[in-house]
Structure 1
C-alpha cells in the first residue's frame, strides 16, 4: 500500500498497492522555516477518550466537529520488522490480502464500499505496525466500523487470492526497485547496511524467492497470530458522538475472540562504534548519490527529543545548515532530503531507528567534498552548541509541522493509534510539545557528541553506470 503521508518523490517508490491515500504533510519533513512567534501561543488540547474492550482491543476516540467527516483507523502490532525470517516481504504481502475479501465482502468490495459512499481509504506496512484507514462522511461511521470488524473476524484466504497478490507484489518490486533508477535508495537500502540485527536489516520489500515461497498455511497462521483484537488499536477521529461510536464499537468488535500472542523477538541494536561505508552500483542512475544515517537515541529520552530539534536545525527547510551548505553555498545539489524514520515520522515507530539524509549530486563533485560539509556542520554544533535563537526557531518549525499533521483526520488518528500501540498512552499527544520545550542547549550538545559522531554513522554511495547527458 502507499505509505500515506510520506514524501513520495523523496522515497521514490514506496510499498504500494492502492493509490487511494489522503496525502498529508509528514511531521518531521517540513520544507520552509516559520518565523518565530512574537508571543507564546496557548497549547491546543486534543480530546482523547481511551478504553479497552474485554477482548483486548484498545479504542481511542477523538471528536472534532470542524468538518462533517470521520476517520476510522485500525493499527495492528505487526510490521515487517518482525516478519518470519524465511518470508521477507511477508507482512507487506499479507497487507494486500486484507483487501481480497472477508466474511461478508467479496474481493475488492471493501474498496468499492468506501468509494461509493464518498470516502477514501488506504493501508500500509511499516517497521512496527500495519495500518488500515478510511475517511468517510460523518454519517457513515457505522459502515466503516462494520467493514473493519468484518475483515478482523476473518479473511477470504484462498490460493487464488494468494497467487494473485504474490504476482502483484513481485511486480511492485520489479517496477519500484529493480528496474528504477535509485530504486530503493535510501529508504529500503540504508537499513540493510546500517543495522546489525536481522529484524532491522533485512529486505522488507521482499526477495522474489521468499515471496514465491509463501504458502496458504503461512497466510492463515499469520492472520490467526497477529490480526487479533488484542494485538490492535482502533482510532476514531472526526465528527461523531462518542456515546454512539462506543455503541458501534461494542456491537461490531466485542464479539471477536482474542488470540494467544507470540513472544516478541529482540529487535535491539548494539551501540555502533565504527563508521560503516557501502557502495551500490546502479546501472540506471546517471548521477552519483549519497545517503548518511546515524543511529537514533532511544524513544522518549531527552536525547530523542533533542534529535527532533537537531533534525530541524540541520536538515529541514531552506534555512537548515545542510541546505545552506550543500545547495546555497557550494551548489553541489539542488536539494537535500531526510528526517527521522523515512517510512513515517518520529512518533510512529517503536524499535531502533535512523536519522538519515540523502542527495543526488553532480558527477564532477567528489563524494568526500559532500561528506566534508556534513562534518563541518556537525563539528560546529559540537564545538559551539546552539544559540537560544536557533533552538527557539527549531521549536517553531517543529511545532508548525506537528499541528499541521494532527489537524487532519488521518494525521491525528495515526498519532493517537501509534501512541496507544507503543506506549499505551494516546493522551501523550497533548504533552509531546512540552518534551521539546525541556530540551536545553546542553542537551543538544550532549546529543550531538554521542549520536552525531562519525563512528555512529553509515554512508551509502550510489555509483552510476550511465553518464549524465
Structure 2
C-alpha cells in the first residue's frame, strides 16, 4: 500500500493491500491490488442497441459439504490459472476498539502455516513464475495467485494449508503491527491529502459505526491487538463456510474439482456470528465539514451522496448517472469544472473508492473529488455540481443520453473483465458468490443496466442526488510555501 492504485476510474487511493507481486521480496512491502481501469467513451460512441448480450463468462458453481463456495470458470486462451480465495470479512465489521484489525490480519496470513513457514508461501508462488497479492476491502478480504496452469494443484494445496491453520505467534503479531502502523504513517499521517477522501469521507458521511470508523486503524487500536484477538478472529471468520474459492483459467474442471475436494473438503466449518446491522438512516440535511491539512498546499473538495440499495433499479441507474456525470472527459462535471471554468485540472470519483460498484455488500457512497486553486470559492464548485444535476432533473434523461451511458458502462464492464489474466473476472465471481449466492450474476449485469428507463433515472436523481443527501468535505491547506 505504499503507492496509489488504479481502479475502475474512481479508485486512485491507497487500498489496504498486501503487495506481493513481481519484484517484491517481502510482506513488509505493499503495492496495489490490480483493479480495472475504465476506458473513457468518446463522443462518437455508437448508441446502445437492445440486442441480447452474447458474451458469457463460463460459471460452474457448487458448495462443498463444509460450506465452501466454489466457482470454476475455464478459459483456454492462455496457459495460466488464477486462484482466488475471498473471505466474507472486511474492515466494515472488524471488532470495535480494534480499528484496522481486518487489515492487520491480512498481513498475518503470510506469516506461515502448518506446512509453509514464514515467506515460504510467497516464495512458492514466485519461484514457480507466478504473482500473488492480497487486500482488505469493505466487505471481504481476498488472496490470489496467478501461476502457470500446471501449478494449479500446488496453489490449491497452499491456500488450503493456510485456511486450515496459521502460525500465530507473538513475534509475528508484533512484527506486523509495526508494519501496518508504518503504513498508516506513510500513507495517511505524513502525506498531503492523506486519507482524502477514501478514508475520510465514510467517517463524515455515515452515522453507523460499522460504516464510519477509521478502517485503516488508529495507532492505539493497532497496538492493543492481542494474540488472543488474532486467534479468535481466525477461528471465527477464516473458515470454509465464510469463504469463496474461485479458479479461472486453463484447467480441466473435473480435475480441479477432485483437487478442491481433496485439499479443502475436510476443513471444519465454523459457527458464524450474527450479521451486524449496517443500515444507515436516511440523510435529511446536507452536511459540510472542513479538515486542516498541514502538508497540503492547495484546497481540495469531495462530495458524497448515499447510494440506493444494492441490486435495486435505482442502483443500476446510479451506475449510469456516474457515467454521465463523472466518468471520462465527456462527463458533465469534467466539462463544467475543467473545460468550461478551469477550476481544476481533473475531477475523479465513482461508486466504491475501494473497488468498483459491484464488489461491496452494504451502504455505499457515490463520491467525487478535486484539488483546486485557492482563488476558487468552495461554494462556486458546489454550485456547479448543483447546476449539472438540476439540468438532468429539469431536462430529463433522453433515451439518447441513456444509450450513450450504457455504451460507456458496457465498455467499462468488459474492459474490467479482461484485466489481469483473469483476476478481475475472479473478483466479480467471488463477490457475487459471497454476497448473492449467485456468481452467474456476472452474465446478467449488462441486461440489468439495459432495463433502466428514463423514468427510473429521473426517480433516482430526485431521491439520491438531492442536496440533503449530500456530504461535502473541504481540505484547508496549511503547508507553508
Task: Find out whether 1:289 has 2:300 as its counterpart.
Answer: yes
Once the two structures are superposed, the pairs formed by residues 30-179 of structure 1 within 5 Å of their partners are: 30-33=39-42, 35-37=44-46, 40=49, 42-179=53-190
In the TM superposition, what is the alpha-carbon distance from 1:131 to its structure 2 partner?
0.5
User: Take 1:9 and 1:115, find their aligned partners in 2: how far apart are those partners?
Assistant: 30
**What residue is the counterpart of 1:252 in the other structure?**
263
Name the CA shift for 1:399/1:38 in 2 (closer, same or farther; >3 Å).
closer
In the TM superposition, what is the alpha-carbon distance from 1:64 to its structure 2 partner?
0.7
Question: Under a length normalisation based on structure 2, what TM-score does the superposition of the two structures give?
Answer: 0.94
In the TM superposition, what is the alpha-carbon distance from 1:461 to its structure 2 partner?
0.3
User: Take 1:39 and 1:461, find their aligned partners in 2: how far apart are those partners?
Assistant: 38
Name the CA shift for 1:279/1:38 in 2 (closer, same or farther; >3 Å).
closer
**What residue is the counterpart of 1:264 in the other structure?**
275
What's the CA shift string for 1:104-151, capped at 9, x where partnerless? Answer: 111111111111111111111100000000111111100110110000
In the TM superposition, what is the alpha-carbon distance from 1:389 to its structure 2 partner?
1.4
In the TM superposition, what is the alpha-carbon distance from 1:16 to its structure 2 partner?
3.3
In the TM superposition, what is the alpha-carbon distance from 1:7 to its structure 2 partner?
6.9
**What residue is the counterpart of 2:376 in the other structure?**
365
What RMSD over aligned residues (CA atoms) do the two structures have, in Å? Answer: 1.7
**What residue is the counterpart of 1:421 in the other structure?**
434
Task: Find out whether 1:26 has 2:36 as its counterpart.
Answer: yes
Contact 2:302 2:474 (8 Å CA) reproduced:
yes
Contact 1:282 1:462 (8 Å CA) reproduced:
yes
User: Take 1:314 and 1:335, find their aligned partners in 2: how far apart are those partners?
Assistant: 13
In the TM superposition, what is the alpha-carbon distance from 1:11 to its structure 2 partner?
3.4
Where 1:322 maps in the other structure, the secondary structure is helix
Q: How many residues align?
A: 467
Name the CA shift for 1:293/1:39 in 2 (closer, same or farther; >3 Å).
closer
4+ runs deviating over 4 angstroms: 1-5, 7-10, 21-25, 38-42
Where 1:396 maps in the other structure, the secondary structure is helix
Contact 1:339 1:355 (8 Å CA) reproduced:
yes
Question: Under a length normalisation based on structure 1, what TM-score does the superposition of the two structures give?
Answer: 0.96
In the TM superposition, what is the alpha-carbon distance from 1:68 to its structure 2 partner?
1.0
Match of 1:441 among 454, 457, 460: 454
Once the two structures are superposed, the pairs formed by residues 253-402 of structure 1 within 5 Å of their partners are: 253-402=264-413
Where 1:443 maps in the other structure, the secondary structure is helix
Structure 2 unaligned runs (5+)? Answer: 22-30
Contact 2:17 2:32 (8 Å CA) reproduced:
no
**What residue is the counterpart of 2:12 in the other structure?**
11
**Mean CA deviation greater in 69-78 or 400-409:** 400-409
Name the CA shift for 1:34/1:244 in 2 (closer, same or farther; >3 Å).
farther
Name the CA shift for 1:98/1:448 in 2 (closer, same or farther; >3 Å).
same
**Mean CA deviation greater in 407-416 or 447-456:** 407-416
User: Take 1:23 and 1:198, find their aligned partners in 2: how far apart are those partners?
Assistant: 26
Contact 1:118 1:137 (8 Å CA) reproduced:
yes
Contact 1:11 1:186 (8 Å CA) reproduced:
no
User: Take 2:9 and 2:441, find their aligned partners in 1: how far apart are those partners?
Assistant: 28
Contact 1:13 1:177 (8 Å CA) reproduced:
no
User: Take 2:469 and 2:54, find their aligned partners in 1: how far apart are those partners?
Assistant: 36
What's the CA shift string for 1:186-235, capped at 9, x where partnerless? Answer: 00000000000000000000000000000000000000000000000001
Contact 1:35 1:393 (8 Å CA) reproduced:
no
Name the CA shift for 1:321/1:358 in 2 (closer, same or farther; >3 Å).
same
Name the CA shift for 1:351/1:39 in 2 (closer, same or farther; >3 Å).
closer
In the TM superposition, what is the alpha-carbon distance from 1:39 to its structure 2 partner?
7.9
User: Take 1:10 and 1:47, find their aligned partners in 2: how far apart are those partners?
Assistant: 28
What's the CA shift string for 1:356-382, capped at 9, x where partnerless? Answer: 000000111011111111000000111
Name the CA shift for 1:19/1:152 in 2 (closer, same or farther; >3 Å).
closer
Name the CA shift for 1:287/1:38 in 2 (closer, same or farther; >3 Å).
closer
User: Take 2:265 and 2:75, find their aligned partners in 1: how far apart are those partners?
Assistant: 25
**What residue is the counterpart of 1:452 in the other structure?**
465
